[in-house]
Amino acid sequence: MMETVKQIQESLAKRETKPSEWVAKALQQIDAHDGQIGAFLTVDREQALAAAKRLDETETEQVERSGPQPLFGIPYALKDNICTEGLRTTAASRILENYIPPYSATVLHRLEGAGGVLVGKTNMDEFAMGSSTETSAFQVTHNPHRVGHVPGGSSGGSAAAVAANMVPFALGSDTGGSIRQPAAFCGVVGVKPTYGRVSRYGLIAFASSLDQIGPFTQTVEDAAIVLNAICGFDPLDSTSTQRKAERFDEDLAAGVRGLRVGVLRHAVDGGVDAGVAAAFQKAMEVLKDAGAELVEMDLPHLDYAVATYYLLAPAEASSNLARYDGVRYGRRVEAATLLDMYEKSRSEGFGREVKRRIMIGTYALSSGYYDAYYLRAQKMRTLIRQDFTEAFATCDVIASPTVPTPAFAIGEKVDNPLQMYLNDIFTIPANLAGLPSISVPCGAVDGLPVGLQLVGQAFAEKTLLRVAYAYEQMRGFERSLGSEEVGQ
Amino acid sequence: MNYETVIGLEVHVELKTKTKIFCGCRNASGAEPNTHVCPVCLGHPGTLPVLNEEAVDLALRAALALHCHINQDNKFDRKNYFYPDLPKGYQISQYDRPIGEHGYVTIEVGGVEKRIGITRLHLEEDAGKSTHSIDGTHTLVDYNRTGVPLVEIVSEPDIRSPEEARLYLEALRSILLYCRVSDCKMEEGSLRCDANISLRPLGSETFGNKAELKNMNSFRNVERGLEHEVVRQTAVLSSGGTVVQETRRFDEATQTTLSMRSKEEAHDYRYFADPDLVRVHIDDVWMESARAQIPELPQAKMARYRRDYELSAYDAGVLTAEVEVARYFEELIAGGVPAKTASNWVMGDLLAYLNSTHRTMDQSPVSPAQLAALIGEIESNRISLKQGREVFRLMAESGKSAAAIIEERGMVQLSDESALGSILDEVLANNPKSVEDYLGGKEKALAALVGQTMKATKGQANPGIVNKLLLEKLAGKKG
Ligand SMILES: [Zn+2]
């Protein structure tokens, strides 16, 4: 078992333990279990130990100088699409197999400033395109709750690393559910903050208008603590919000009495697995018992969300991925002509799913098709935003299962992209509308975790966390589901 | 059949900002290759653009100076295409909402004013510079220029001759220089021009097939390239042929244009709004402060010089062609120099000296205040004009003041009539032939006598007084 961020904070504050002990523990867990799970692409052992040792030695001095650092001495992992200066960053793609960034992402600076210790980079779907981490060019990641099942994706490595107790927290990125879906599959907490809350500077872009970095943690309280550290304005990201930083862990225990929880009518439709629907309904009863008012509601354009997303995200991706041309960095296949070099470098460098999306996106933006696809999708995005605005007139948060099914078996959906895409039906709308959303474990189906998703109004993360925390306290089970799990 | 020439120009101008448009790198040309670069302008994974507002400010100023309608809500779009000097695989530009539209530039053709319409002026980032090896095996790319802010200025097809094209470019360049938005050096690439040219039967309203002309590195070459196209297209049409719609390159060696590609590649740039940038609103306060940065423009200035200083069109044109020249001229006037005198000095000795030493006006070694002081010495008859021109040369070479040089060289003008009188007597005695000629009716002989007097006084004699005394003395002899 890995202690929570909160528990490690308290232990370090009381000087019962030292940072290097926690980093060593994380590395031991990785050594013991990652052979089976495959969560990490890179483990930065020496750097992590050296950083922890420095923290051991300078702790007193540091506290005297600038007060306690919120993540002092706490080990963590980053999804491998977050740039780390001097440390290989691949986005799980052959085209960036040996890419060493010359700079670091803003979130890395923030976590370093908060005293955190990076232990490694986690596996993901190539360029974050996928829902199972199976499109990684390098390795398969297994669900710690059942080896042979997917951890979800695209941030599957980060979710599995927290679920298998290798790190107390990890960061991922969420474009259409890539944090919340793997959090649900792996039985951990995952948060996609409001678009603009966390700087995207240094996050390898998939779809710039949808991407957002967020945490995986064991508890809602830990998620709030990590959000405190990573949120805030960044002059290097024009889309980052100028809003003042907030203390997300402040009102966690304020309860849900008087809050209206919108229950999405679609949530228990035919498309949702019966076990998932049952777990969700039980969660709604827990919230009702805790004092929340349940309101039935609808998002009239929900049925179009998946189609809208699978036009807009590939369109942006087709442009974002144009820079991988073999000219300045990354994989280059030498050829006689420039065009040949482009074609060979890109055909060898990108995997099937990435190529599929580049083609869809290129098509959607092409003259003659732009109006029918890209422009219509943009209009639908506006309608979906309006759906939320109207919905929030009657409720404070919107609840649904995070995913219609529990984790599926590795290889089960890999040849059926459409079925894979439909997995994202509940998570995509929050990205299209730029809203904050959380997935919190709400039970299991045959030993596989199920997630409860809550979506809040823009910048209302605190309300979201408050509801999730209340549920977590009242749900009547621990995160750990049983001895079958890897990493206990 | 007679044909009418139809020309439209696309001009790219680099803006003179301190830093690049989307990153903090310096915007400076001439540095070692790939020294003004960073992860952002090299298009590294995960980097993001942040707009430099100075670029918007300069583009806005240029658009206002060109009488454009301003779109106050600005967005940026991605123009997608692959090329090694384009690091992101797309260029950030403005597609359907340029910052400026529907402007114009006024030119004077054969004494008649003519407006050339400006379709649009938009802001975008420059690409890098590719250098291809001679054997064709490799290409080197310098990314220093990547991300330098540009404005693209597209004219209406209002231009009717190669000469009008040059006049338009000169007027445009002059306005942009006056506004300090760019240094507009075509040889260095900070101003680049492509031309579209077609012919049509005189009186026809429809456009003929056009050729797009590239690779012209001076205004003169733009004019020559277009002249060649007029001849070439006329020949094609006169012999019953059709002009191929294509891109052609001006070849400096042969002074002709050559086809670049036989088949026009169909580019689909897949423009869409860049999701990494937010909209930029230019509010009324910003508009007004940009407007306040626009000085009196060359055409208005020229009209004023002609009206207030009674200068000829030619003189006013030379004095206003470059803003530094006009500024120098105006500073002389502010220093009390009469307009005609100031104009003569600037257009004469000053510009001649600068040209001969390959300097521009802002590098002038003699400041307007120093020159005004020199002119004062001449006006007050302390030295002669001839001495003054010598003093000017010495000032330019040494950097010393007029007073110091006059002092050093003992250059005092002889104005004393009695002293001059005896020198003149001597000159008359030594030049009996000239005296005789003059008395015989050859008035030109007077100049020879003045010259001899100046020589005898080492140029220090006041020529006005010399003239007067000579006439008196010669009149006496006549009697
Ligand atoms: Zn740069």
How far away, in angstroms, is B291 Cα from ligand 1 center?
30
How far away, in angstroms, is A175 Cα from ligand 1 center?
27
How many whole angstroms separate alpha carbon B312 and alpha carbon A371? 58
The dihedral through the CA atoms of A379, A380, A386, A388 has a sign that is negative
Tell me if A101 and B46 make a contact (CB, 8 A cut-off): yes
Window B:43-72, CB contacts with A under 8 Å: 43-51
How far away, in angstroms, is B31 Cα from ligand 1 center?
14
What does the pLDDT read at residue A245? 77
How many whole angstroms separate alpha carbon A397 and alpha carbon A292? 11
- Chain A residues with CB under 8 Å of B43 CB are 323, 328
Tell me if B45 and A204 make a contact (CB, 8 A cut-off): yes
Tell me the β-bridge partners of B14.
B150
Closest CA to A79 of A52, A42, A112: A42
Looking at residues A307-332, what average pLDDT do you find? 96
Tell me the β-bridge partners of B74.
B280
Q: Is the ipTM of this complex over 0.90?
A: yes
- Chain B residues with CB under 8 Å of A325 CB are 82, 84, 89
Full strand arrangement of the beta sheet holding B77-80: B90-93, B77-80, B272-273
Residue A71 has pLDDT above 50, yes or no: yes
Give the angle subtended at the CA of B346 by the CAs of B331 and B405, to the nearest 5°. Answer: 85
- Chain A residues with CB under 8 Å of B89 CB are 319, 321-323, 325
The residue in chain B having the minimum alpha-carbon distance to the alpha carbon of residue A237 is B48
Kindly tell me the burial class for residue B307, based on how many C-beta atoms sit within 10 Å of its own C-beta (0-12, 13-18, 19 or more): exposed
Extract the residue ranges of chain B whose pLDDT is less than 50: none
Cβ pair A105, A202 in contact under 8 A: yes
What does the pLDDT read at residue B479? 60
Give the angle subtended at the CA of A315 by the CAs of A309 and A317, to the nearest 5°. Answer: 95
Closest CA to B472 of B416, B424, B413: B424
- Taking the C-alpha atoms of A64, A68, A73 and A76 in order, what is their torsion angle to the nearest 10 degrees? -150
- Nearest-neighbour CA in chain A from B82: distance (Å): 7
Give the angle subtended at the CA of B98 by the CAs of B95 and B103, to the nearest 5°. Answer: 135
The dihedral through the CA atoms of B59, B64, B67, B73 has a sign that is positive
Residue A102 has pLDDT above 90, yes or no: yes
**Residue positions of A annotated with a catalytic role:** 79, 154, 178
How many whole angstroms separate alpha carbon B222 and alpha carbon B97? 29
How far away, in angstroms, is B45 Cα from ligand 1 center?
14
The set of residues, in sequence order, having a beta carbon less than 8 Å from that of B324 and lying 6+ positions away, is: B360, B361, B362
How many whole angstroms separate alpha carbon B26 and alpha carbon B145? 10
- Nearest-neighbour CA in chain A from B259: distance (Å): 22
SS3 label, residue A262: strand
What does the pLDDT read at residue A64? 57
Tokens of A278: 């049952």
Q: What is the pLDDT of residues B5-42, one digit of tens each?
A: 999 999 999 999 999 999 999 999 889 999 999 999 99
Residue A480 has pLDDT above 60, yes or no: no
What own/partner pairs with CB < 8 Å and gap ≥ 24 does B382-390 have?
B382/B406, B382/B412, B382/B413, B383/B411, B383/B412, B383/B413, B383/B460, B384/B413, B384/B459, B384/B460, B384/B461, B384/B462, B384/B463, B385/B463, B386/B454, B386/B459, B386/B463, B387/B411, B387/B413, B387/B459, B387/B460, B389/B349, B390/B459
- Chain A residues with CB under 8 Å of B270 CB are 318-319, 362, 365-367, 370
Query: Domains in chain B, ordered, with CATH?
Result: 3-286 (no CATH), 296-408 (no CATH), 417-478 (1.10.10.410)
Window B:21-40, CB contacts with A under 8 Å: 39
How many whole angstroms separate alpha carbon B470 and alpha carbon B476? 10
CB atoms within 10 A of CB B267: 10
Tell me which of A27-41, A311-325, B132-146 is least confident: B132-146
Q: How many CB pairs under 8 A join A and B?
A: 99
How many whole angstroms separate alpha carbon A118 and alpha carbon A51? 9
Closest CA to B2 of B204, B164, B156, B212: B204
Nearest to A236 among B48, B88, B268 (CB): B48
The set of residues, in sequence order, having a beta carbon less than 8 Å from that of A77 and lying 6+ positions away, is: A39, A40, A118, A119, A120, A121, A122, A157, A158, A161, A166, A167, A170, A171
Q: What is the pLDDT of residues A216-258, one digit of tens each?
A: 999 999 999 999 999 999 999 999 999 987 899 999 999 999 9
Q: What pLDDT band is residue A483 in, cutting at 50, 70 and 90?
A: very low
Question: Strands B272-273, A75-79: parallel, antiparallel or unpaired by DSSP?
Answer: unpaired
The better pLDDT of the pair A482, A404 is held by: A404
Rg, Å, chain B Cα set? 30
Q: What pLDDT band is residue A62 in, cutting at 50, 70 and 90?
A: low
- Nearest-neighbour CA in chain A from B128: distance (Å): 13
Tell me if B141 and A203 make a contact (CB, 8 A cut-off): no
Chain A touched by B84 (CB under 8 Å): yes
Q: What pLDDT band is residue A31 in, cutting at 50, 70 and 90?
A: very high
- Nearest-neighbour CA in chain B from A210: distance (Å): 9
Q: What is the pLDDT of residues A345-363, one digit of tens each?
A: 999 999 999 999 999 999 9
Q: What is the 3-state secondary structure (H, E, C) of chain B?
A: CCEEEEEEEEEEEECCCCECCCCCCECCCCCCCCCCCCCCCCCCCCCCCCCCHHHHHHHHHHHHHCCCEECCEECCEEEECCCCCCCCCEEEECCCCCCEEEEEEEEEECCEEEEEEEEEEEEEECCCEEEECCCCCCEEEECCCCCCEEEEEEECCCECCHHHHHHHHHHHHHHHHHCCCCCCCCCCCCEEEEEEEEEEECCCCCCCCCEEEEEECCHHHHHHHHHHHHHHHHHHHHCCCCCCCEEEEEECCCCEEEECCCCCCCCCCCCEECCCCCCEECCHHHHHHHHHCCCCCHHHHHHHHHHHCCCCHHHHHHHHHCHHHHHHHHHHHHCCCCHHHHHHHHHHHHHHHHHHCCCCHHHCCCCHHHHHHHHHHHHCCCCCHHHHHHHHHHHHHHCCCHHHHHHHHCCCCECCHHHHHHHHHHHHHHCHHHHHHHHCCCCCHHHHHHHHHHHHCCCCECHHHHHHHHHHHHHHHHC
What does the pLDDT read at residue B442? 86
How far away, in angstroms, is A199 Cα from ligand 1 center?
19
Query: Ramachandran region of residue B462, left (φ > 0), alpha (ψ -120 to 50) or beta?
Result: beta
Mean confidence (pLDDT) of chain A: 94
